[in-house]
Structure 1
Amino acid sequence: MQFRLLSCLLFTAVLAGCFAEAESTAKATPAAQPVDVAAVLYAQYSPEYTFTTRLESPQQVELRPRVSGVIESVEFREGSHVKQGDLLFRIDPRPFAAEVARLEAELNRAQAALHQANSEAQRAKRLQGRNAISAEQAESRLSLASQRRAELASVQAALQAARLNLEFTEVRAPIDGQVSNAFITEGNNVQAGQSVLTSLVATDRLYAYFDVDERTWNASFSNVTDNGETQATLALAGSNGEQHTGALDFIDNQINEQTGTLRVRAVFTAKDAQLRPGAFARISLKAADSRPTVMVPDRAVGTDLKNRFVLVVNAENVLEYRQVELGRREGTLRVVEAGLEPGERIAANGPARVGPGMPVTPQNVEIETQNLTLAKPQSAAEPSA
């Protein structure tokens, strides 16, 4: 009886030990968590560079009067677009018209005086041929005719200048463009060549000058020319992503030794009122050549105290910590310069709910290519380019 009781107790202890070991094993091996897993994207990628600038007009004019006088009228709507030759200001023309009239009368007098002097000179030549007049008198009349011709030429030149001044009382637009407000209004006196009446800027095209550092230019744009075939995109500050397309049309002939940069210009057609001279803008240029590049979703990248990392899913479906070197961001994707190889799988949503060493149940998803061209991974037997 005692032996039977002892056997029951021993069996109970062994059974309890088995249950404890099983429970300990269950606690030591956590359940695999379902995780979105994706193969890294390997695609042809052209790095895009962004530069800041301010737009400039190819032509801008500070409109100044060519004659002094009083502004009689302002003939334009402020802020409007005008054509070359449109009347903008009118200066009181009466003093200039009076001067033209005076010089026209003076011209008539000079013409009459020259006509008389020419008649007397011809008569002197005939009389001198019959020895009816002295050589001195004949020479005097010929000299007087020459003086009258010079006086007539002087009056003609003065009249031409007076007519120009009368014409300049109408201040017209020298170029097509958009005019500012009238800085000087009716009734105010203006000085020739000094008073600024308004400003005028050409808006059919706009320039964007920016500087590219020497290293970036040599690495990504060395084959670029200014023939207008290299596309540039422009985004204005606060434009909510709206872009305008232009092209490079100027590359400077030397690198600035002080800054180590090259001055470049992109030209944009101002088809709407959003593009204005002086506006702050960001210019984006894509590198001339593309290269195969590993890319991952930006959300898949985690950050610890010093490094950027992703969680790689190994062959046993366990997460591994992998430090990476990141490049530029392209939409929702991030370029990986080092740390990942084509074909490797990662936790697509990053380390938000998982960590290194955890077993996972992969739920395969695909990374959006964002119109990138996929590249073929190079095998070990293929020579490198």
Structure 2
Amino acid sequence: MKKKILLSTVIILVLIVAILLFKKFSTNKEVIKILETAKVKRGDIQEIIDATAIVKTQVNAYVKVGARATGKIQKMNVDVGDYVKKGQLIAVIDQRELKKEVDRLQAELNRARANLKEIEKVYPLKIKEAEENLKKAKANFEYALWNFKREKELLKREFTTRQDYEKADMNLKTAKADLDFAKASLNRLKEEYKVKLKEAESNLEAVKESLEKAKIKLSYTEIYSPIDGIVANITAREGETVVAGLQVANLITILNPDRLEVRIYVDETDIGKVKEKQKVI
């Protein structure tokens, strides 16, 4: 009897526990939250193949920009990794002495031009004046010669005095000397004009040539990029001194990105998925 009562009690307790557990799990059921919805539609399925790649440069991919001037680097406008465009100023070497030389030669050129202009203006006027003096000297000589012949003829006929004859003779000699001097002066001026003009023109051309050379040397202090590309290497920095001839070949190295090629190694299991003109990321 006692065993039946004990068994009944255990069964009742088990039922109570079962009921409590059922209520607990049935009331605390987790609610599903909808985070995002989308309409189902057709689309492309992309498959990405991971592969190892090596970037190599083609022939003439690198352009080495050198320095043709000696001096301290005044400005370095680029750094490794910077993209530069063709004709872009990338570096400047100290220009002070060369600029002074250019300014000096420019002033000398202005003086040479002014001197040539002065010669071309003054000497023709001097020559013209000398030609007028020669005309006057010729006229005086011709009159003196006529007067001398007249006095000589008159003296033969005793219509004049010896004193007047000798005076006419003296005037003729003076007029002849003046005429010779006027001719010599004119010839001297013409020859001097030719010489001075040639010297001035030669001097002007020499100064022009020197100035052009100085400007070319000055242009060497400004280094421009010869191509579009990326700065790959710089051998000297701002403030450092470069010597033309020693660092002329590789002051700045620029890489032409159009001269690069990529070699990709694809696994044999994926090779069938690769096609010509596929996009490479």
Q: 1:194 to 1:126 in 2, by over 3 A?
A: farther
Deviation at 1:75, TM superposition (A): 0.8
- Structure 1 unaligned residues grouped into runs of 5+: 1-52, 209-233, 243-330, 333-368, 373-385
1:185 to 226, 237, 259: 237
Letter in structure 1 aligned against 2:79: R
The match for 2:251 is: 197
Higher mean C-alpha deviation, range 129-138 or range 87-96: 129-138
Query: Which residue identity does 1:204 align to in structure 2?
Result: D
Matched ranges for 1:6-155 at <5 A: 55-127=57-129, 129-130=131-132, 131=134, 132=182, 133-155=185-207
Q: Map 1:1-385 onto structure 2 (within 5 A).
A: 55-127=57-129, 129-130=131-132, 131=134, 132=182, 133-195=185-247, 196-206=250-260, 235-236=263-264, 240-241=265-266, 331=268
SS, match of residue 227 in structure 2: coil
* Percent sequence identity over aligned pairs: 29
| Displacement of 1:118 | 1.4
Letter in 2 for 1:92: D
Amino acid at match of 1:183: T
Shift in CA distance, 370/108, structure 1 to aligned 2, threshold 3 Å = closer
Amino acid corresponding to residue 188 of structure 2 in structure 1:
E
Q: Alpha-carbon deviation of 1:94? A: 1.0
CA contact (8 A) 2:72 2:242 kept: yes
Which has the larger helix fraction? Answer: 2
| Matching residue's letter, 1:186 | E
**Which of structures 1 and 2 has the larger relative contact order (alpha carbons within 8 angstroms, sep 6+)?**
2
Structure 1 counterpart SS, 2:79: coil
Q: Distance in 2 between matches of 1:109 and 1:142?
A: 19
Superposed CA offset, 1:257-306 (max 9, x none): xxxxxxxxxxxxxxxxxxxxxxxxxxxxxxxxxxxxxxxxxxxxxxxxxx
Mapped to 2, the partners of 1:371 and 1:116 lie a distance apart of 83
Q: In 2, are the aligned partners of 1:57 and 1:201 still within 8 Å (CA)?
A: no
* Change over 3 Å in CA distance of 1:58–1:156 after alignment to 2: same
**Do the aligned partners of 1:57 and 1:202 also contact (CA within 8 Å) in 2?**
no
Residues 1:193 and 1:122: Cα distance change in structure 2 (over 3 Å): farther
| Alpha-carbon shift at residue 167 of structure 1 (Å) | 3.0
Cα distance in 2 between the residues matched to 1:54 and 1:102: 51
The letter of the residue matching 1:80 is D
Bigger radius of gyration, 1 or 2? 2
Residues in 1 aligned to 2:218 and 2:273: alpha-carbon distance in whole angstroms: 65
Q: Is the 8 A contact 2:73 2:241 kept in 1?
A: yes
Please report how far the alpha carbon of residue 82 of structure 1 lies from its aligned counterpart in structure 2 after TM superposition.
0.9
How many residues in Structure 1 have an aligned counterpart in Structure 2?
169
The 8 Å contact of residues 74 and 90 in structure 1, kept in 2 or not, is answered as yes
CA distance in 1, matches of 2:222, 2:273: 58
Q: What is the alpha-carbon distance in structure 2 between the residues aligned to residue 114 and residue 197 of structure 1?
A: 45
The secondary structure found in structure 2 opposite 1:79 is coil
SS of the equivalent of 2:257 reads coil
Q: Which has the higher strand share?
A: 1
Alpha-carbon offset, residue 370 of structure 1: 7.5
Q: Distance in 1 between matches of 2:273 and 2:89?
A: 53
Match of 2:44?
none
1:150-201: per-residue Cα shift (whole Å, max 9, x none)? 2112212222222233233221111111212320112222223431312122
Pairwise CA distance, 1:84: 0.7
Aligned partners of 1:188 and 1:113: how far apart in 2? 44
CA distance change for structure 1 residues 137 and 60 in 2, over 3 Å: closer, same or farther? same
Report the CA distance between 1:99 and its aligned residue.
0.9
